[in-house]
Structure 1
Amino acid sequence: MTTTLFLPPSNLVASGVQRAVYLHPADSTKLVKVLKPAEQQARRRNFNGVMDRWFPATRLRQIRKEYMEYLRIMLNHPEPDFHLPVSHMFGFVSTNVGLGCLTERVMSPDGGLGETLGQKVKNGTLTDEDIDLLNDAIAELFAHGIRASDLNPNNLVFGQRDSGTGPGPKECVLVDGFGDIHAIPVRSMAAWSNRIGLNDSCTRLARNTGLHWDAKQQQFSRS
């Protein structure tokens, strides 16, 4: 028997183009990402918006790519001490507002949601420690060949994850935008092509945050 998880409107914490994010009503270490009905999506005139309207299956393709990338990384790294710079995923659940994807929650020290890179840049609260944590996450993306197609400032969150015995250390975590979601999956073709793609993504991230990206050192710094 399938139990439907009830997500009250008050648990809504974020709403993107395709998905809405809710606090899990019974587990403070998890979030629930729900795919919005097509009729609730904002009409976009860019390439992705046209694809969504004319080829609705592309919305599901992006979610499949995300899960496929998560599975690929975890199957390639079964070692128990492997540190994933991406939020863990825990499968699907039926909810009162649609199909939900259970995912790991990155928390602030007070138990709230961790701050995104975009929020810190906007509020002027980005510290040197934060930049070091961002560079740690980026180094792991490169080292493990993780395909991150959307490194935008709102997909990188600073905070702590549940370690099984309590909050873990502060870190920077990529919570969305991973997987080779492009129409032509260039990043999946070879390790070198993914490195080029990651470098391009970091260059755009630097431009959107006012940081400097050193492609040779593969590190961010203040401009």
Structure 2
Amino acid sequence: MASDMLIVEKPLQLKGQQPIAHGNRRAIYPVEDHPGILVKVLLSASAQRRVMPAKRLLRQLFPSLAYRFLFREYACYLRAKIAQSDDSGPLPISELRGLVQTDLGLGMIVENVCDRDGNPGPTLRRLLASGAFDARHLELLNNFVRRIYTLHIRANDLNPGNIVLGHRGGVEQFVLIDGLGDSHLIPVRSWARWMNTRSLNRRFAALTNPGRLVWDVGTREFRLPQSREGTAL
């Protein structure tokens, strides 16, 4: 597999490359000759934005704290894999492929969720903003929602920019690509299903993108606004 090859190619050369995404704490890089994967790396302390001085000091004293996201995301991924058990097909979250040393530090190898042509899949935000979101997408989105609840996925950043439409194994589906795991020091939402369910209810309700989606907490499903249902459904 591509990730197996990367593990022996140390360090992976990323310096000088342009990341395809850049957050407050991490950057995401493509890997030449391996289009099916991406590498997430932690930004240097000087490059990180909006880091409180107290947190910056803690990370200087305890460098391993900077990599809490690795433990958090892998714990969520492992729980989902175990919960999946007999359920076939890929998870509704991006697959994690392991770790690799890079010239920018430790990197996490993740699945690159692409469309049928191998291009990066569109985000839910893009589909909604462009007006391309239709009844077919609605069905796929609600299937994604059901699987998130069923597998008790802990999502701490469930926003439309982190939900991508891709083709995986010939199946079109929405995938949560970031914001996995419990961000709290004591991960009670990962332990208590009812607490996580309440959190998911709140986060999905905030995902409605005014005027484009309606969230029904009773059925835990999205629907299109009435003004669009007659033409879209």
Equivalent residue for 1:32? 39
1:42 and 2:49 are equivalent in the alignment: yes
4-13 or 19-28: which moved more?
Answer: 4-13
The alpha carbon displacement at 1:83 in A equals 3.7
Q: What is the distance in 2 between the residues matched to 1:119 and 1:3? A: 36
Task: Evaluate the alpha carbon distance shift between residue 24 and residue 209 of structure 1 in structure 2; reply closer, same or farther with a 3 A threshold.
Answer: farther
Q: What is the distance in 2 between the residues matched to 1:102 and 1:136? A: 26
Equivalent residue for 1:221? 223
User: Where does the alignment leave 5 or more consecutive residues of structure 2 unmatched?
Assistant: 1-7, 226-233
Task: Evaluate the alpha carbon distance shift between residue 32 and residue 193 of structure 1 in structure 2; reply closer, same or farther with a 3 A threshold.
Answer: same
Partner SS state of residue 199, structure 1 = helix
Q: What is the distance in 2 between the residues matched to 1:3 and 1:106? A: 25
Q: Give the TM-score of the pair, scaled to structure 2.
A: 0.82
Partner SS state of residue 92, structure 1 = strand
Rg larger in structure: 2
1:159 to 157, 166, 174: 166
Task: Evaluate the alpha carbon distance shift between residue 187 and residue 125 of structure 1 in structure 2; reply closer, same or farther with a 3 A threshold.
Answer: same
Equivalent residue for 1:91? 98
Moved over 6 A (4+): none
TM-align CA RMSD: 2.3
Equivalent residue for 1:180? 182
- Contact between 2:138 and 2:222, CA under 8 Å: does it hold in 1? yes
Partner SS state of residue 160, structure 1 = strand
Number of aligned pairs?
Answer: 214
Q: Give the TM-score of the pair, scaled to structure 1.
A: 0.86
1:53 and 2:56 are equivalent in the alignment: yes
Equivalent residue for 1:22? 29
Partner SS state of residue 222, structure 2 = strand
Q: What is the distance in 2 between the residues matched to 1:51 and 1:145? A: 33
The alpha carbon displacement at 1:221 in A equals 1.5
Q: What is the distance in 2 between the residues matched to 1:208 and 1:41? A: 31
1:104 and 2:106 are equivalent in the alignment: no
1:115-194 matches, cutoff 5 A: 115-161=122-168, 163=169, 168-194=170-196
The alpha carbon displacement at 1:9 in A equals 4.5
User: Where does the alignment leave 5 or more consecutive residues of structure 1 unmatched?
Assistant: none
